[in-house]
Structure 1
Amino acid sequence: MKAFIFAAGKGTRLKPFTYSHPKALAQVNGKTLLERNIHYLKSFGIKDFIINIHHFGEQIIDFLTENQNFGVNIQVSDERAELLETGGALLYALHMFENDEHLLIINADILTNLNIMELIDAHIKNDHYATMAISDRDSSRKLLFDENFQLNGWKNLSTGEIILGNKSENLSEYAFSGIHCIRTEFIKNFTHKGKFSIIEEYLNQMKSKNIHGFLHKAQLIDVGKPENIKVAETFFI
């Protein structure tokens, strides 16, 4: 299975570092987030990667070249002309994986010890359309799941905005971990075009498709803000 690493974001929460660098090259204990995630996925046997770039994208290209792609196959999806967000990025790069049945996706600024094979196995064995890694942790935005962990909505805790699917009762709130396994068919069925978040498509397709949550208790740190780098350094040596 190929892995898609989102590395194009501007990393506004990581200023001043991102005034002159891409957030994917921020370091935790001397190793960049991008390197850590490549090695993390490589440890589960994943050898084929797609990495999108935008903000200081040439630095990522140079970094990969200098390190000989860390011994894996990497295709770069170049968004330097326009940042397309997560959904737009996948649609733009579809030609790189359209013949693959499934795709693993992870945000470059997420560090975790999640057993990725357990996520993949749950996705494949249960024949899910999409499987989202979720956990019970603090977040201003939550995904809503029914008792069978099927996606049925989204809630913004800050504004009170709620989007519901087929059910409105007995729903549990979980935070999205920024890691998911999807059928390529999901992207081919996108109704949005251009620049958009993949969450918009999850909420658009949840009424008719088999989208499930994979609940985990693994260590997971969003290293998108400076204070979390210090936290990450206590867990990821």
Structure 2
Amino acid sequence: MKAMILAAGRGSRLKPLTDTLPKPLLSIGSENLIEHNVKVLKQAGIDEVIINISHHAEQIVGHLGDGKRYGVTIHYSYERDRLLGTGGGIFQALPLLGNEPFIVMSADIWSDFPFDRSFIEANNEAHLIFVENPNYHPIGDYALSDEGKVIFEGPKFTYGNIAKLHPKLFANCQPGTFPLSQLFNEAISRGTVSGELYRGKWFNVGTIEELERLRKAIG
């Protein structure tokens, strides 16, 4: 199985740190955000990783290289002319991802999610990982049925920016900029999205405050 790390964003809410450094290279202890995620994927048995890049792209390529020192092969999908959003970025990278289901995660999250067997074997257009609603997103995104289906109505949780996706989720897409949530909404309406709630460590490093909270949490 392959994986994609979404790393093309500008990190505007982390300025001035991201004026000269891409958000995925922000240090967390002895490593940076994207290094942590590459290592987590390797531990889960992933040996081929696709990363979409734009803002300070050359720094990410220069730091990670071809991935050999992490035990993986890394391919890059460049968004040179414009940012394509989470959905458009994955759609552009589909030729690198192939025809089989793949993992996708954001470069700006830090988690100890284990990518266990139930996640790997999930068989839907999309299988989403949810977390308890953080203070900055109290309303959540989607609800979960008792059977593990993602639904619109009910107590909502926050999408944790970790998922297993099938390429057929993108069957009706056209090149361009669009969010992944657009495809999720369509697939949820079809009843083809499952999910699970993860209660382990999870941080979304979207602001300087969240970055400092993570740094303190892991020492």
TM-score of the two chains, using structure 2 as the length reference: 0.90
Give the match for residue 23 of structure 1. 23
Any residues of structure 2 matched to 1:132-143 within 5 Å, and which?
Answer: 132-138=128-134, 139-140=137-138, 141-143=140-142
Seen in structure 2, the aligned counterparts of structure 1 residues 66 and 44 have a Cα distance that, compared at 3 Å, is closer
CA distance in 1, matches of 2:104, 2:23: 17
Give the match for residue 186 of structure 1. 169
* Offset at residue 191 of structure 1 (A): 3.7
Aligned amino acid, residue 110 of structure 2:
L
Structure 1 residue runs of 4 or more that deviate by more than 3 Å after TM superposition: 66-69, 190-193, 234-237
* 2:153 pairs with 1:173: no
TM-score of the two chains, using structure 1 as the length reference: 0.84
CA distance in 2, matches of 1:120, 1:130: 11
Contact 1:222 1:228 in 2 (8 A): yes
Q: Deviations over 1:187-229 (max 9, x none)?
A: 2x24464101100111022222410111111110011211122
Contact 1:57 1:80 in 2 (8 A): no
In percent, how many aligned pairs have the same letter?
Answer: 27
Contact 1:190 1:201 in 2 (8 A): no
Give the match for residue 158 of structure 1. none
Match of 1:197 among 166, 170, 179: 179
CA distance in 1, matches of 2:205, 2:118: 21
CA distance in 1, matches of 2:143, 2:50: 29
CA distance in 1, matches of 2:175, 2:155: 30
Contact 2:42 2:71 in 1 (8 A): no
Aligned amino acid, residue 194 of structure 1:
G
SS of 2:124's equivalent in the other structure is coil
Q: Deviations over 1:50-97 (max 9, x none)?
A: 000011111111112297552310110011221101000011111112
* RMSD, aligned α-carbons: 1.9
* Offset at residue 172 of structure 1 (A): 2.3
Number of aligned positions between the proteins: 216
Any residues of structure 2 matched to 1:60-209 within 5 Å, and which?
Answer: 60-65=60-65, 68=68, 70-99=70-99, 101-118=100-117, 120-123=119-122, 127-138=123-134, 139-140=137-138, 141-153=140-152, 168=153, 171-187=154-170, 189-191=171-173, 193-209=175-191
